[in-house]
Structure formats: C-alpha cells, structure tokens
Structure 1
Amino acid sequence: MPPALREDACLALSDRFGAAIIRSDAFDVIAGHGSAGAEIVQDLPDAGSVLVPVCNGGLLAGIAVAVKATCPAIRVIGVEPELAADGAASFRSGTRTAWPVELTYRTRADGLRAPVLGALAWEHIHRYVDDMVTVTEDAIDTAAALLLRELGERAEPSGAVATAAYLAHRASLPPGPVVTILSGGNVASAAAAS
C-alpha cells in the first residue's frame, strides 16, 4: 500500500471493525511519556540537556513537559533525520508544518516517518522544547553501530537518532551531562551486525 494511503486505510479498518485508534500523541500517551522525563530529572537533576527522537512528537512533548516542570534549566532538544525533518521545520517557522510522505519515507529511520507533528504534541513542543536538530543517515548508522559495539544495545535507526545527535552536535550542547533517549530495538540480529 502506498505510504500516503496508510492512515486512511487504518481509519477505514477501525470503522469496519469498531476498533479504537490510540494515536501516539493522544493526551494519555503524552502523559505516559512524561514518566520518562520525570525519571530523568529524579536520577540526573544536573543534566545539561535531553535529546529525544521525534516522530509525531508525543514522546518529545511528554518528556519536555515533565522535565521543564521540575528542572526548567535542562535543555530539551528534539532530534529528527534530515530526510524527515517536518518537526524541525515546524520549530523553526513557529507553525506546524507537514511534509509529503514521499519525502519523509526516504529515511531508513522508519519509526520517525510521520509527515507532521500531532496537533496536541505540537502545542507542548512549541511551548517547552528548546531546540530541534537533525542528523544524517550516515550519522544514524554510525550511532547504531556504536550502541551495539560499546553497549550491546541493538538500536533500530529510529532509536539511534538521539545518540547520533549527541555525536554530531556535542560541541554545541550546554555544559552538564547529556541524556539521549534510546527508544527502539526493533531490528533483526543480522541487520544489527552489519
């Protein structure tokens, strides 16, 4: 099925079977993601920054709200692949901006291909997030390989983007410890070894 039709197909199936669709930027989901932010400030209140992968923004929104509520000095930074940087474009323009799926589907970070930030997530991101950065496909691969080699973590490309941002942007990050969110290990063993 073409990527541009997937959401419509999902909605049609939901209607057909009477199923509920829980969007990853729904209020309860954002609040749940906030628990990660609360744990970060509890364990590392002197952190300088938190780097968070961005798809439709629910994870970033939840972490940003929780971190800023407790430790507003910690910088919360969203991370996207360059090839799916609708959130970074939104952040820079101050307006929620959609990209065509033909563009966002170019990245191998398939968990971050949403063409636009969720409306509720965008409200929180616009208010609480300090910056958005992007990373290249090569940087994502390098970070995934490093996570496997050094930590034994099999990170999918989407999960490795925050580490990629640390590697690419560490010179411009504020002083203090840096937290990177590793948000996915959905990768086959053979793929992770390459």
Structure 2
Amino acid sequence: MDYTYASSSGSGDVNLNDTEDLVDDPLCNPEKPLRITFEEITSAAYKIRTGIKNTPCEKSHLSDLTGMDLYLKKDFQQHTGSFKERGARYAMLMLNEDERKRGVVAASLGNHAQAVCYHGYLLNIPVTVVMPLIAPIMKIQKCREYKANVIIEGRDMAEAKKVACKLSKERKLTYINGYDHPHIIAGQGTMALEIMEQVSDIDAIVVPTGGGGLLAGISVAVKMLHPNIKIIGVESERCSSYSQAMQNNCPTFTPIEGTLADGLAVPEVGFNAWETSKNLIDKLVVVKEESIALAILRFIENEKCVVEGAGACGLAAILDGQLDELKGKRVVLILSGGNIDTTILGRCLERGLAADGRLVKCKVTVSDRPGGISELCKLFGSIGVSIKDVIHERAWVTSDVFSVEVKVVCETRDYNHSMELRELLCSKYKIVKFENFPPCNRN
C-alpha cells in the first residue's frame, strides 16, 4: 500500500493556541479509517528484520503462582527498551528520499520518541520530537543522546500532538503518529509473528492497550494464522480510552489521570487502530493502579526483570482475578517496555508491597508512661516484624491525657503475617487501627 503525506509550507514559531489552520494527522482520518492487513505486517517483518531484535518469549517462573502455563514476550529488551522500535523503523524505512532529507516529527511521552530518535539516528534521518511537560526526565535525556531536536511543550499528549502537527505543516516534516500511523501498526504486528514461531499451542495473548496500535497489529496477525487464539487487551483504569471506544462504538476522547502505566496514557484510541481491531479482540480488561504496582514487584522478585507500568498490565489483570478463565491454559504476556524512572520504581515497589500486605501502616494508642512505646516495639519484634518508621502524637489524643498515639510503618513476610500482627496488637491494646485491613474482631 502506497501512502502519501499531506503537508504545506509555513514558517514562524509554534503557538499552541493557534489551531485555526492546524494540520490534522493526514493518515489518521476519522472519516476514512484504514484497516491494516496481514500482508502489510509480513512486509514490515521482512523490512525491519536486520534492525530489530527478535526478543525471547520464555516460560515464566510465575506459572505456578498464576495457575497458567505462562510465557513472557520480553520486548523491553529492544535497544531503547520498548516494542515501539518495530513500528518506528518500518515507518522510517518507508519514507521516500525527499521525506528522509526533510526529516520527521513525532509527539510522545517517551517510548515512541526514543524509538524514532534512535532509528532516525541509525538511518541518518533528522528527527524532531515534541514531549509534554509530564514526560519522564530519563526518556527526554535519551532522545537528546540520539541527536534529536527535543521540544518540551504541552501539558499532556493532546497538546504535544498539536505542536507536532503544527511543526509538520510549517517545516514540511513527516508526522509519524505513535499508535495510529498504518506503518506503525503494521510494524507492531511483527511481534505476533515472532510469538507464534516461539510458542506452540497458544490459548491467549494478553496485550497492553493505550492508543490501540499494538493491539491492532497483534490481533490482525494472530487471527489470520490462528483464529482460535484469544486476544485480550488490558488498560489502566486511569486511562481507559479503549473501554470508552467500545461503549460508544467509536474512538472517544477520554480524560487521562496520572498513572503508573504512562506508556498507555493516550486520551483517544487511534481511528485506524480501532477500525482494524474492533472486531478481532475477544476481551478487554481494566486494571487498578495497585494491581499494576504489585505486578511490577512480582516481575522483579520472580523474573529478575524491571518492566514499566504498561508492560506489567497483563500480569496485573491475572493477579486481579479478571482472567481466571485462562487457568490451566497456555498464555503469552507481552512485556512491552522497561523504561521506568528509578524514582517512580521506588514508589511502585512500596505501593506493591502495600498491596501485597507486606508493607503495613497502623496506629496504636498506648500508655504515655515510660516504657509504653518500648513495649509496643518489643511486640513487633517478638513475631519477626521489621519496623521502618515510628511517629507518636500527644496533642491529638483527646480521650486520655495519659495516652499517646503511635503510628508505625513496618514490613511483614506476607498477608498472613500482617494479620498475625493485627491480632496480637488487638489483644494487647484497646485502640488499634490498620490501614487497608478490616478492624479488629472484638468478641
């Protein structure tokens, strides 16, 4: 399929508020959406084969824990840490000579930007990327290392895209949509061809879902070769744009909240991606943030691999109990990316430990006489609980001037160990409050 790009000349600074003559994405027309074919995906696989890693798809140590024959497609092992390289390389290889000389522009929170910058660097194609203010610092720095022109503008992806489209018009750059460009979707679908070569007798493939490009490419390739394999999309409850599209039977703008799965934070599903995938997927699951955090923790502890929130969504759905129909089945999880900020990783691990019942916060009202707090701490140690932090308050304990409220943050072995601690404290003190645990049962 031969695609052409609409562009016109222009000059001057980019003004986010100047949208009267804004150029829409020329290959993402809501009135005439394009449906990606299996032939385009196989063409992409041939063209990118020398520039993209064939990443492993290995049986997971989490199989026993989940009750499934679980396989992990580790596409976070691509050079830039995400699957986005597949589509980015194919889209850039398909540029004509004139388009290569003028260069490309993209809008992205990070993974698509890194992929375009890296392959532009390898192919000697000038790259400009527009990243919103909320883009992770690590991803911004990586783009600069690939010699790209990095513009930080816009409060979110929607505003960053406006800037990128304006630049496309004014500077005659080719705009490459990170999730809805036909070549991007075809490139992402090449992962499915690898998976089906690497794992036999697959029952289901679980796909992280944001703008829908990966879901569309995977579903086309899989359903053409093995229509009985179930395709399951997973998205965060804080960026559930595909769910909204399903409810309204068309892509619908969805307000995005801050999420651990920042790679999925797209406010509207792509029109081409929707047209391609809407009749091919078997199920869509929405997961909670705490489940994503717990999944990130499980991958680190059991697989010794660090994945970002988007890549952990598939496991989060399983841990949530939303895919119990796959128990005993052979299931492939796509680990789409590993680019998580170290500061965010620390927060994820703590949130995951809390969701797992292993990081506990409680408040206990104890006697303010000498040794009162010491006795409380000894109780924690007596059953092997490790105290991380202790804070005590006197002024806000109004019921008893001779008492003090002690807030304790501690680590336990597991949920049962936390419940053992709760029962011990409840047996010794009248006022005990645990966060995220039921109140003491006092008969």
Q: What is the TM-score normalised by the length of structure 2? A: 0.41
Q: Deviation of residue 192 (structure 1)?
A: 3.0
Moved more, 20-29 or 164-173: 164-173
> Contact 1:77 / 1:133 at 8 angstroms: preserved in 2?
yes
Q: Does 1:90 align with 2:242?
A: no
SS in 2 for 1:114: coil
Equivalent residue, structure 2, for 1:119: 271
Q: Deviation of residue 118 (structure 1)?
A: 0.5
Higher normalized strand content (fraction of residues): 2
CA 1:162/1:54 → structure 2, altered by over 3 Å: closer, same or farther? same
Q: Deviations over 1:129-168 (max 9, x none)?
A: 1111110000000011111111121111111111212222
Q: Deviation of residue 39 (structure 1)?
A: 1.7
Q: Deviation of residue 108 (structure 1)?
A: 2.5
Q: Does 1:108 align with 2:282?
A: no
Equivalent residue, structure 1, for 2:232: 77
Partner Cα separation in structure 2 for residue 175 and residue 104 of structure 1: 35
1:31 to 182, 186, 189: 186
SS in 2 for 1:181: strand
Q: Deviations over 1:40-69 (max 9, x none)?
A: 222223111111011111100000001111
Q: Deviation of residue 124 (structure 1)?
A: 1.5
Q: Does 1:9 align with 2:167?
A: no
Equivalent residue, structure 2, for 1:18: 172
> Percent of aligned positions with the same letter in both sequences?
34
Moved more, 136-145 or 103-112: 103-112
Matched to 1:10, the amino acid is A
Equivalent residue, structure 2, for 1:158: 310
Equivalent residue, structure 2, for 1:57: 212
Q: Deviation of residue 127 (structure 1)?
A: 1.8
| Larger RCO: 1 or 2 (CA < 8 Å, sep 6+) | 1
Give the number of equivalent residue pairs. 191
> Contact 2:210 / 2:241 at 8 angstroms: preserved in 1?
no
Equivalent residue, structure 2, for 1:142: 294
SS in 1 for 2:201: coil
CA 1:29/1:35 → structure 2, altered by over 3 Å: closer, same or farther? same
> Contact 2:219 / 2:277 at 8 angstroms: preserved in 1?
yes
> Contact 2:260 / 2:293 at 8 angstroms: preserved in 1?
no
Gaps of at least 5 residues in structure 1 are none
Matched to 1:14, the amino acid is S
Moved more, 64-73 or 41-50: 41-50
> Contact 1:80 / 1:112 at 8 angstroms: preserved in 2?
yes
SS in 1 for 2:211: coil
Equivalent residue, structure 1, for 2:330: 177
Gaps of at least 5 residues in structure 2 are 1-153, 350-443
Partner Cα separation in structure 2 for residue 5 and residue 27 of structure 1: 22
Partner Cα separation in structure 2 for residue 105 and residue 190 of structure 1: 19
CA 1:8/1:93 → structure 2, altered by over 3 Å: closer, same or farther? closer
Q: Deviation of residue 20 (structure 1)?
A: 1.6
Q: Which has the larger radius of gyration?
A: 2
Matched to 2:161, the amino acid is E
> Contact 2:251 / 2:268 at 8 angstroms: preserved in 1?
yes
Q: Deviation of residue 7 (structure 1)?
A: 1.5
SS in 1 for 2:185: helix
SS in 2 for 1:56: coil
Partner Cα separation in structure 1 for residue 232 and residue 248 of structure 2: 16
> Contact 1:81 / 1:109 at 8 angstroms: preserved in 2?
yes
What is the root-mean-square deviation in Å for CA atoms of aligned residues?
Answer: 1.8
Equivalent residue, structure 2, for 1:47: 202
> Contact 1:148 / 1:192 at 8 angstroms: preserved in 2?
no
